[in-house]
Structure 1
């Protein structure tokens, strides 16, 4: 490719959002080039054999309830490009310190019966939550994933619920998840499922808005499960890449963008790669990178409004992640039977322990009793390791204000494995190989995971909706004409759903007139299916 190459759009980053955006632009007839800094596509959706031969590890993200429900990924029809989903026998289990176990199953009666053992009436309460969620699923997801203001989807949601129930839903969404659990259940099982799922982001049990995230993930788990791609997380990126190539788009690996170039009017006109090569963009540049990297590394900050520069100083990352991968010689011998068939297992703490854990992270203390998210990948997908074995991982968080030394990492790995040994005796003896991903190692493998932050910035209420990534933007828009933020720092945020990329592609097409009038050029494309109605 010559240094004078010109395309309609350059997409920076081949994470799943970048690939989604590139696919939608290619569908609309645009000439699209994706520039990926590393030698790998998929961003934080990747897999490899890093523990032992024959053991496939999902290097970053692993279970995908948001992908299973996403209207964006459904519209791309990735099953036609080699992607197949599968499920563990049970979605998720939360093992209490005393070995009681709350289990989330895709079978509603099974989940309800298990929760009833924690408190009389709790099974019926869970059933009511599920029935309401099923009723509003489509307009709710559209309201969450569409660009702001999502007037059409919100109107449909209000019409479905009615004013009174819509207000009750809004109240619940603003609640701390602890309070939602107390109001909904008499026992501890249902509230523990909600609170543990809220901490898939960085939302502690007592934080405003944590109820919405915990409820959403639990309800998705109940209705669509926590699916995984057969063969490894990387199969999702491969399917997006295959679809893009068939649509005429191109991905260039090991092509890090060093600088955005602007024309005399201040609009973005292209990119300059680290080696000096320049690529012109006739219509748009879409950046699937965290907002601080876009505005501070790829742009001269002087082109930004002074107030935005000040807002960027207040941008908050989510806490650093420590992830450990194992090749295990046999399945875990959980003393809590409900954990044996679950793809995802939460353990280490009860509800008060979750509060202590969140407080430790907020105040800069290293948690002495960490909350663990544990993945049994072969339980979910038999192709991940030899028969009878388990490809497994766990992750937990560390406080951002504490230097992460080798000694701290080693101590925390020992703490994690001690917790697993307590609840699954013989765990240590089953370890054939171990692969530790410290926060620094995560960033080295994927430069977008700054300091081990995996969600593109905190999911707390003060950095969501119109406050994401900074107040007033609330989506893919940037102060630079024809430049769009397509990564998880934009609304609706982290998770594998593709909405950030789709919204950026939609904005670029609108800016260039492709979506004007009746949108003749895209009436039969994935984009039209995503935003129909």
Structure 2
């Protein structure tokens, strides 16, 4: 129920997704009185767990494996381990199962990964070592760069000092090269390129698209460096820790409080209104962990925004829709290739050319006949997810972006997904005790920010990143409305459970509120917005 006990706060945060909770925590750390208004009855957004298949089997409802969350400087500084968050790892990080039955495997043991890739081509083991050494040289400033506001001055300067001009230019090229090209440059065999391309397809980019290489490189190298860990007891533990930390600092969360308007007076955000007419005054800032189109067009309204911004939003592109299935299995997955059995995450259904064909079908608005699957063996990674000797399994696959899907379309694609699994693990279907299907509509119902089942807050394409995210602008959390900040994955640096958009919004709110320099900050940001949107 919506609270009536308080009608004002220093900051009102719209949405209790992980970014909203990160922002609220950082403002509470600064001594602000913070109120979070959540439209649903539970916190966490896309970081939640529940029993949805059969009793005794825990499922992560949306996100699951967290290399970025584990490595994120933002989350690390929150000391969430003090609030019950503990991490665990599967024996192997990732396996890419090729159609011919071979598997390329990343293990946190560098020797084991190199040995796997060496089976694909002589020398590819050493080539992986070389690629990893190159990553280690830039990992710390890279992570700092991608989790701080644009432009990333401190991290960028550190990278430049380490790499010098020649190295920085080559890194810049890597940021835009397609993952197919990157794989060809780094490896001779199929294994390495398949691992990189499969990682890139966690986004909505094809192996041929500019910028897909950096996603594949980042996720694969993080897998080697820190693994793809999961919270002990499920994704919900991240949310529980953020909520506990916030409450300890006096922060409040009201559930079932759907905001339908940001209140603006004289160009400044002054509060919000919730469905039903309740109003909440924000003395210092409003931060919105909602998609950019929802914030600008629905909560603020086009009449209060620069016309150029509204025009640009017409070209905002969502990432693809998603179909996710959870299964309760009576035994571990009976993989034909046992090298896959110890991997927390499995990619299957396509080699590199197959991934290109799959992506092309999505680009044409078609349902791929042979879907590429991302599979999570949760009990392999964390035995707490199901009874001993069983498996809590999930898989998701991308669909073309649409808001409306017929039930028979979803059911037919679930059948295709199970066919892919049955082919790779004969007898899989005989182990199914229960199944939970979450199509795009169900994903959006559970988390309204997953519009049409899009899980990234907008495409990962290069034309909607950095200062082009969510539309051409400053690449910052600041909006043209004073003291209103975008704190969702629609903002730089985008999707993933790393907390950076929320942290960036909190930093911007604090900078705007400083006694001496806050008005100067507002003047500079306002002038920049006028230049961009005039």
TM-score range normalised by the length of the shorter chain: over 0.9
Matched, 1:154 2:156: yes
Output aligned runs, 1:58-137, within 5 Å: 58-137=60-139
Contact map agreement 1:197 1:214 (CA 8 A) in 2:
yes
Q: Residue 308 of structure 2 aligns with which residue?
A: 307
Q: How does 1:20-35 map to 2 (within 5 A)?
A: 20-35=22-37
Q: Does 1:187 align with 2:180?
A: no
Is 1:483 the counterpart of 2:484? The answer is yes
TM-superposed CA distance for 1:3, in Å, is 7.5
- Give the C-alpha shift of residue 338 in structure 1: 1.5
Structure 1, unaligned runs of 5 or more:
518-533
| Corresponding residue of 2:346 | 345
Following the alignment from structure 1 to structure 2, what is the Cα–Cα distance between the partners of residues 437 and 118? 36
Residue of structure 1 in register with 2:504 after alignment: 503
Shift of 1:138: 1.1
Give how far 1:424 is off.
Answer: 0.6
Q: What is the CA distance between 1:483 and its match in structure 2?
A: 0.1
1:3·1:277 contact (CA, 8 Å) conserved in 2?
Answer: no
1:49 to 35, 40, 51: 51
Q: Distance in 2 between matches of 1:300 and 1:136?
A: 42
1:444 alignment counterpart:
445
| Deviation, structure 1 residue 403 | 5.2
Contact preservation (8 Å) 1:91, 1:226: yes
State the partner residue of 1:472: 473
| Residue 289 (1) aligns with residue 299 (2) | no
Determine the structure 1 residue equivalent to 2:361: 360
How many pairs align?
A: 516
CA contact (8 A) 2:18 2:44 kept: yes
Counterpart pick for 2:208 among 203, 206, 209: 206
Tell me the distance in 1 between the aligned counterparts of 2:295 and 2:427: 47
1:162 is paired with a residue of what secondary structure? helix
Superposed CA RMSD in Å reads: 1.2
CA contact (8 A) 1:509 1:515 kept: no
Distance 2:48 2:481 in 1: 31
> What is the match of residue 462 of structure 1?
463
Answer yes or no: is the 8 Å Cα contact 1:290–1:489 preserved in 2. Answer: yes
Q: Is the 8 A contact 2:402 2:452 kept in 1?
A: no
Counterpart residue number, 1:524: none
For 2:403 and 2:49, the matched residues in 1 are separated by 29
Deviates more, 1:92-101 or 1:472-481: 472-481
Question: Offset of 1:475 from its aligned partner?
Answer: 2.3
- 1:167-316 → structure 2 map (5 Å cutoff): 167-263=169-265, 265-316=266-317
CA–CA distance in structure 2, aligned partners of residues 331 and 391 of structure 1: 9
Looking at structure 2, the residues matched to 514 and 69 of structure 1 have their Cα atoms a distance apart, in angstroms, of 34
Q: Give the distance between the partners of 2:220 and 2:517, measured in 1 at CA.
A: 39
Q: What CA distance in whole angstroms lies between the structure 2 residues aligned with 1:400 and 1:442? A: 13
Equivalence for 2:525: none
Over residues 440-473 of structure 1, what are the superposed CA-to-partner deviations in whole Å (9 max), with x where a residue is unaligned?
Answer: 1111111110000000000010100000000013
Judge conservation of contact 1:3–1:278 (CA < 8 Å) in 2.
no
Q: Secondary structure at the match of 1:207?
A: coil
Give the secondary structure class of the aligned counterpart of 2:300: coil
The TM-score normalised by the length of structure 1 is 0.95
**Partner of residue 527, structure 1:** none
Q: Is the 8 A contact 1:357 1:370 kept in 2?
A: yes
CA displacement 1:290-328 (0-9 Å, x = unmatched):
001111111121111111111000000000000001000
1:353-411 C-alpha deviation (Å, 9 max, x unpaired): 00001111111111011110000000000100100010010000111259521111111
Question: Does the C-alpha gap of structure 1 residues 514 and 153 become closer, same or farther in structure 2, counting only changes over 3 Å?
Answer: farther
CA distance in 2, matches of 1:424, 1:48: 26
Secondary structure of 1:298's aligned partner:
helix
Could you say what secondary structure the match of 1:297 adopts?
Answer: helix
Distance, in Å, in 1 between the alignment partners of 2:366 and 2:255 is 39
| Offset of residue 145 of structure 1 | 1.2
Contact kept? 1:364, 1:402, Cα under 8 Å: no
- Counterpart among 10, 26, 41 of residue 12 in structure 2: 10
Is residue 145 of structure 2 the alignment partner of residue 143 of structure 1?
Answer: yes
Task: Tell me the SS of whatever aligns to 2:299.
Answer: coil
Per-residue Cα deviation, 1:78-132 (whole angstroms, up to 9, x for no partner):
0000100111000000000111000011111100111011011111111011112
Tell me what 1:433 maps to.
434
Task: Please state whether the residue corresponding to 1:30 is helix, strand or coil.
Answer: coil
- Corresponding residue for 1:522? none
Cα distance in structure 1, aligned partners of 2:345 and 2:439? 21
Q: CA deviation at 1:239?
A: 0.1
CA contact (8 A) 1:467 1:474 kept: yes
Question: Tell me, what secondary structure is at the counterpart of 2:262?
Answer: strand
Contact 2:327 2:433 in 1 (8 A): yes
